[in-house]
Chains A and B, each alone.
Chain A
């Protein structure tokens, strides 16, 4: 079996937002819709303060809360762990968005553009099917599927790897098959201490955060 997962090494991440920008490019999301974004988190009180940068987005959960609530079955979970949305089935009720504890889902009711009116790339890339329905990080599923079809290795070959991972300037983001003990993500998890976001909610996120070596 395959379980596509992502790893974010919080020791590496500097909050540069390159992944955010790369995702906006790769997926042509409208202004303000960040399927991948990086949070700026402070903990403690002056002068004992720590600050961390935390990439977030759809966690592609084992038990996705968005999946069960979806009344249309537009949200699906593939055998390889990727949670997808069928834009043609979605009614845009946003139930999934409020069910997601990771604030990963977006709904843009009408076309929005960076400077009010559409520029040439925005016109070229406007996808009416994604308006007024739920959208979120897909792990760049088309790249993975197309890449696999070409014999490429997701997480290693850029053409088959999510855009955010490709773009990361600190190697904080890694992508791979968690069911393969030799994969990069399995190795990273094995060699480092990690946690998953809101693990107590029982969602089984497919997104691991490294914070120290073992």
Chain B
């Protein structure tokens, strides 16, 4: 017997996009953010190449994951057919552009990193708009979804950068400050998004735990770590360890948030009647 399915009227979780789609937002966002933050950081050329490569790998793995979700993967190139209105088409073009620009960075073409950074931002923006355009899912179509995803991506990129700093030993107080600002902005965007979901108990419930995690482990803890390493005297290594730890926290909580957004809070519109039908005569007649 085919599995029992439940159809309304109350909203139910969408089942069309699964973890593979979530992976695209998680990896794509972090990867795009990494390329962009790396462009901002302008580290050593070797670091630039490696971090950009990681960024591209992340984006690529996200796209690969979502490719596996396609019903008709061998027609995947049709995805480019509708850049006029579809943010998925646009994301695809942005991905191509990102790989070209990223490739240029890998080939150490001068100035390519800035272009790659901008294109990565575009890619992240397209992704964010893609989710927000899915109007069937109230938690996605909230206006704050776009800034939340973009800022989360940048914060994750920064997180990755600082995590990788354990190896590349780059960075500056300005970049650390930027990281801290992104962490705060991310939580701010989350709060706004959360407020926009007020009245949608199911979606809010789906995001409650990752939201809590975002506050404690994704915002307060990394900020404390950043503050600690900025304020207290400690060895360089200790500073990088703390920064890496903060980076990891930001990455993981961001991933968790996006996973929850795509899979847990993704209740659809459901059905509701503004008025009930009158059968025969109105009540009381």
A–B contact (CB under 8 angstroms): yes
Number of A-B contacts (CB under 8 A): 164
Note all chain A residues with C-beta closer than 8 A to B72: 90-92, 132-133
Q: Tell me whether B140 is interfacial, beta carbon within 8 Å.
A: yes
Note all chain A residues with C-beta closer than 8 A to B3: 32
Contact across chains for A92 and B70 when beta carbons are under 8 A apart? yes
Question: Would you give the shortest CB distance from A131 to chain B, in whole angstroms?
Answer: 7
Contact across chains for A91 and B268 when beta carbons are under 8 A apart? no
Interface of B, secondary structure class, is: loop
A93 in contact with B273 given A98-B134, A100-B136, A112-B2 (CB within 8 Å)? no
Mark A2-42 against chain B: 1 for CB-CB distance below 8 A, else 0: 00000001110000000000000000000110100101110
Interface size on A, residues (CB 8 A): 56
Note all chain B residues with C-beta closer than 8 A to A114: 2
Contact across chains for A98 and B14 when beta carbons are under 8 A apart? yes
Contact across chains for A56 and B85 when beta carbons are under 8 A apart? no
Once the chains are docked, how many angstroms separate the CA of A189 from the CA of B134? 30
Contact across chains for B136 and A71 when beta carbons are under 8 A apart? no
Interface size on B, residues (CB 8 A): 49
A39 in contact with B5 given A98-B14, A212-B278 (CB within 8 Å)? no
Question: Would you give the shortest CB distance from B164 to chain A, in whole angstroms?
Answer: 32
Once the chains are docked, how many angstroms separate the CA of A50 from the CA of B273? 11
**Which of A101-109, A156-164, A173-181 touches B?**
A101-109
Q: Tell me whether A52 is interfacial, beta carbon within 8 Å.
A: yes
Would you list 10 pairs from A and B whose C-beta atoms are within 8 A, ordered by A residue?
A50-B276, A69-B133, A71-B81, A93-B71, A98-B140, A98-B268, A99-B133, A100-B135, A107-B71, A211-B273
Which 8 pairs of residues, A with B, have the shortest CB-CB distance?
A: A92-B71, A132-B71, A10-B277, A94-B16, A71-B88, A72-B78, A101-B269, A68-B85
Interface residues of B (CB under 8 A from A): 2-3, 5, 7-9, 14, 16-17, 66, 69-73, 75-76, 78-82, 85-89, 92, 130, 133-137, 140, 266, 268-279, 282
